[in-house]
């Protein structure tokens, strides 16, 4: 059974803090993704990675960075958190593309920046 | 850029009845994939059903089926014999081969007992 875990379900941070969101998958998936989910906007891709130490910008990368030092772990970093980054953050993983590939999602981290 | 539109922010259905969730998308491509994902309250998002654009036959998974109209760029999800466990946010998503998923805004489905 594929499992994607995220380090926290709920997180409260102050404006200006550096925030780390961790994601771990246990199925040896090559691809990993970070999304943010906001009401009325669906899921928007922040960053993704096709391999270790590799990263690609998604649709809304501003204010975020990522790190993938190991295949199973993909971290999202908010260098200086702002209130407009209050959101639900979802991590996902999938096999390397051979056709349409199913993405497996983590439970999400609800981040509040005050 | 490709876009996915779910025009129904919320839907309600009586238990055991049938409900259809709408999705339209915009693309100039001929080969692509379409998905419906389900996000139950406080639980992880899971794949419900997938459709390859080159297949004319509509995908079916137990009580879930799709109506794929390629010319109209429409991809609706039909849930038959609705159950309380079907209550969730449903997302329609589009993908070109090897590319990222593009999600719609989602539809909240409420199931009444």
**Alpha-carbon span B111 to B14, nearest angstrom:** 6
Confidence band for B56, pLDDT divided at 50, 70 and 90:
confident
The angle at the Cα of A61, spanning A55 to A66, to the nearest 5 degrees, equals 40
Instruction: Please name the residue of chain B whose CA is at the shortest distance from the CA of residue A92.
Output: B45
For residue A98, the distance in angstroms to the closest alpha carbon of chain B comes to 7
Say if strands B10-14 and B107-112 run parallel, antiparallel, or are unpaired: parallel
For residue A24, the distance in angstroms to the closest alpha carbon of chain B comes to 14
Count A/B contacts: CB-CB distance under 8 Å: 45
Would the CB atoms of B103 and A48 count as touching at under 8 Å? no
Mean pLDDT, residues B59-71: 96
Instruction: Please name the residue of chain B whose CA is at the shortest distance from the CA of residue A105.
Output: B45
Q: How much of chain B exceeds pLDDT 90, in percent?
A: 84
| E strand or H helix that includes residue B107 | strand B107-112
Mean pLDDT of chain B: 94
């Amino acid at each position: 059974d594929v499992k994607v875990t995220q380090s926290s379900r709920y997180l409260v941070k102050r404006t200006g803090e550096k925030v780390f969101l961790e994601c771990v998958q246990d199925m040896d998936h090559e691809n990993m993704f970070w999304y943010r989910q906001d009401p009325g906007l669906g899921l928007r891709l922040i960053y993704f990675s096709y391999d270790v130490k590799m990263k690609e910008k998604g649709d809304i990368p501003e204010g975020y960075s990522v790190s993938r030092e190991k295949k199973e772990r993909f971290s999202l970093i908010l260098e200086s958190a702002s209130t407009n980054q209050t959101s639900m953050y979802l991590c996902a993983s999938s096999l390397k593309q051979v056709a349409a590939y199913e993405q497996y999602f983590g439970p999400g981290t609800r981040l509040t920046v005050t | 850029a490709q876009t996915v539109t779910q025009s129904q922010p919320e839907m309600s259905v009586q238990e055991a009845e049938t409900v259809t969730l709408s999705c339209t998308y915009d693309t100039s491509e001929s080969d692509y994939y379409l998905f419906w994902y389900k996000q139950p309250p406080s639980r992880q998002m899971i794949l419900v059903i997938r459709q390859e654009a080159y297949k004319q036959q509509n995908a079916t998974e137990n009580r879930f089926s799709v109506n794929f109209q390629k010319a109209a760029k429409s991809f609706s999800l039909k849930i038959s014999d609705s159950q309380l466990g079907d209550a969730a946010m449903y997302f329609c998503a589009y993908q070109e081969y090897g590319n990222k998923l593009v999600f719609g805004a989602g539809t909240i489905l409420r199931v009444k007992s």
